[in-house]
Amino acid sequence: MKVASQDVLQCSAAGPLGCCLETLRRALRHVKIRRRERLLRVSETLSLGERRFLAIVQVDRERFLIGGTGQHIALLQKLETEPVAAEDLPRERTSSSGLPGNGGF
């Protein structure tokens, strides 16, 4: 790394510690840190009380529904790769009373 004469003048004015910090700051400006992409991710969890839960776990591009207790974890189902939006789900017909039924017949 080349040091310009103006940098030397700035360093001497700031003192030895200031000079070291400025040199370190300039050197680190060009350092790039890459985070490792994780293959395992918990997308969502739902507590069921008494140390029981449901979770959606994503491994690479696959998704799984798992259930767990204090002593046990189980795979419940492999899910579709893309989550289904609530608008895309079929709606259940309701009777005139607002309860699920056969459409009021």
Highest-pLDDT range among 1-15, 33-47, 48-62: 48-62
The structural domains of the chain, with segments of one domain joined by +, span 1-33, 40-83
pTM above threshold 0.75 = no
Beta strands 40-49 and 73-79 are unpaired
- In the beta sheet, which residues pair with residue 53? 47, 68
- Quote the CA–CA distance of 1 and 18 in Å, as a whole number: 18
Dig out the tokens for 64 from the structure: 């799984």
Is residue 68 within 8 A of residue 74, CB to CB? The reply is: yes
Strand, coil or helix: 19: helix
Q: What is the pLDDT of residue 105?
A: 44
Report the share of the chain in percent with pLDDT over 70: 64
